[in-house]
Structure 1
Amino acid sequence: MYKNRAPDGRYNLCGGKVAALRKAKVPKLSQRGLADMLQLSGLDVDKNAVQRIESGQRFVTDIELKALAQALGVTVEELLET
């Protein structure tokens, strides 16, 4: 049977990395701040969506993955590294 979750049950592979990169920004970037940056890039993402992405409770599309990488100043590959 096809599985569409990570081995630990999370709905995405990048959430933990997104949270770590966001918190490592100087000054620290809030979830709302990241959501605002994503909205400026044309995505309909709010603070709650960012929280759910970071906690692994939400799937992330390839379009969102690319926008997250650009907003955080990293490559898509870096977001997917575990």
Structure 2
Amino acid sequence: MDSSDKVGTTQPADWLPLQGIEFNKNTVQCIESGNRFVTDLELKAIAQVLGVTADELLSE
């Protein structure tokens, strides 16, 4: 995914608690800017929320 593929920071932060992952807008921004790592459980939840596979998120 490139920067043009980014979903707004509010949407994932709102959807992830439904997956048991507590994110806020700042968390999403830190991940997108490379200032925070994503755990395996977070990656799985993010992929489910976005309707893609973890491999798709990790591909360049």
Q: Aligned Cα RMSD in Å?
A: 1.6
Q: Percent of pairs identical after alignment?
A: 53
Q: Secondary structure at the match of 1:34?
A: helix
Relative to the length of structure 1, the TM-score reads 0.65
Output the CA distance in 2 between the equivalents of 1:75 and 1:21: 15
Residue 65 of structure 1 and its aligned partner are, at CA, apart by 0.3
Structure 1 runs of 4+ with >3 Å offset: none
- 1:69 deviates by 0.5
Pairs aligned (count): 59
Mark the runs of 5 or more structure 2 residues left unpaired by the alignment: none
Q: Deviations over 1:15-46 (max 9, x none)?
A: xx385242xxxxxxx21111010111111111
* 2:16 corresponds to: 38
**1:49 and 2:27 matched:** yes
**Is 1:80 aligned to 2:58, yes or no?**
yes
Aligned position for 2:43: 65
Q: Which has the larger radius of gyration?
A: 1
| TM-score in terms of structure 2 length | 0.86
Higher helix share: 2
